[in-house]
Structure 1
Amino acid sequence: MTAEPLVVCEDVARTFGTGPAAVTAVRDSRCSVHSGARIAIAGPSGSGKSTLLHLMAGMEQPTRGSVSWPALGARTRDIGVVFQSPSLVPTLDVGENAGLPLVIAGVEEPELAQRVAEALALVGVDDLAAKLPEEISGGQAQRVAVARVLAQRPRLLLADEPTGQLDRAAGQRLLDALLDATEHLGAALVVTSHDRAVIERLDTHWTMHEGTLRTTESRAVTS
């Protein structure tokens, strides 16, 4: 028996604005993501990749079509999103930044400390817990942003151009951390990118072209 998918997009479209100035970012696209998936969505800037991820996360509402989360129900809090910019709070140290969503959600000690420590260790920055954002590198800051999401223990992790502001080596290290962490958590991973070195590390390759999603299955080269 096939498990229910984590997210299903049925003929979704998303248009911004009205009249002659309207821009359609996603056009009549359909897809589903199951547990354990490792998916790369390729395409140039402006092709609709980010908007599709926002629809999957429930951050945007489709203009047409529907998005549902069969295996999650209404629990879109089980979806974590990593953005291109880490957006750390400059006055909080690394550990406090990683734990901030848990504080907001009302998670109490000692569970909060345990989950933060685990998340920081998963991405290899546990030795930076007491550092301020200004004291770490851009690659380290992006790992902290990933840890902030992992501490919430998502079942679906959506990463929007997570290596876009990093050099090749730092980007590959971040992708290593994403793959290892989602494997540890048993979470599905969807990554948008136009970097072939990132795309080829994931098992399934989709593409966006002028707002239309094309889904294909292909095995990635992981060496």
Structure 2
Amino acid sequence: MSSADLLVSCRGVALTFGRGPTAVVAVHGADLDVRCGDRLAVVGPSGSGKSSLLHLLAGLERPTSGTITRPGLHGPRDIGLVFQADSLIPALDVTENTALPLVLAGRPQEETRRRVGEALDVVGATGLADRLPDEISGGQAQRVAVARVLAQAPRLILADEPTGRLDHATGARVLDALLAAADRTGAALVVTTHDPAVAARLTLRRGMRDGRLLAPETAEAPDPRGSLS
């Protein structure tokens, strides 16, 4: 790939919370490139720094040291985020939650309606369109969160433990939706996970331990509909 394919580049990136003897180094000197079309899993146990690294990639945290450049991104709207925790707005129904980034961006109403309908269809949530978040399951809510990202059409999708609170079957459907969203938009996809079965469905893998990003692993492209069980 050429340099034009580079979306995000991290060089020697560190993130420290606090100061003095109580300081906690969440990320130590990470080097990472994310390019167009990447399907990357960052794998490690809880507390290994995965979420902190994802927040750095997203621009939600600023590095304590090192540099992050985003040559292939043109602002926050090029980044779509899916979190492990519930991220839907309780007072908005599924359609309104999915449409929110487009409404905030001032997209025309007809375009918004079309993109929301297509996104809900891709993740299999069309039948949930009029429901409020407290009327759907956790797995359904995660698929709606993916639909919201898909409607946004970002160049980079970052998903932080998106299956962490779900059973295997539901988690597989959410991962199906993420992969479909990335394929549909042409986005790169970065997923943090502690589950090797989730990581196995992505073609690139980086382990993370004690805040340190390990050497890359690669694999043949897996079946995008493979099971997590």
Matches within 5 A, 1:153-172: 153-172=153-172
CA contact (8 A) 2:147 2:181 kept: no
> 1:190-216: CA deviations, max 9, x gaps?
000011110110101101111111131
Distance 2:215 2:149 in 1: 26
Matches within 5 A, 1:18-167: 18-72=19-73, 74-167=74-167
Distance 2:193 2:25 in 1: 20
Corresponding residue SS for 2:142 = helix
Mean Cα deviation higher: 130-139 or 200-209? 130-139
Corresponding residue SS for 1:6 = strand
After TM superposition, give the deviation of residue 104 of structure 1 in Å: 1.8
CA contact (8 A) 1:48 1:210 kept: yes
CA contact (8 A) 2:95 2:129 kept: yes
After TM superposition, give the deviation of residue 87 of structure 1 in Å: 2.1
CA contact (8 A) 1:86 1:144 kept: no
> Unaligned stretches of 5+ in structure 2?
none
CA contact (8 A) 1:80 1:156 kept: yes
Corresponding residue SS for 1:151 = helix
Corresponding residue SS for 1:110 = helix
Mean Cα deviation higher: 122-131 or 198-207? 122-131
Matches within 5 A, 1:189-208: 189-208=189-208
Within the alignment, does 1:216 sit opposite 2:216 as a pair?
A: yes
Corresponding residue SS for 1:51 = helix
Corresponding residue SS for 1:96 = helix
Corresponding residue SS for 1:27 = strand
> Unaligned stretches of 5+ in structure 1?
none
Identity %: 58
CA contact (8 A) 1:31 1:215 kept: no
Aligned length: 222
Mean Cα deviation higher: 117-126 or 15-24? 117-126
After TM superposition, give the deviation of residue 217 of structure 1 in Å: 2.9
Q: Give the letter for the 1:77 counterpart.
A: R
Distance 2:194 2:115 in 1: 32
Q: Give the letter for the 1:148 counterpart.
A: R
Q: Give the letter for the 1:65 counterpart.
A: G
- After the TM superposition, which segments of 4 or more aligned residues of structure 1 sit over 3 Å from their partners? 220-223
Corresponding residue SS for 2:152 = coil
Distance 2:21 2:203 in 1: 40
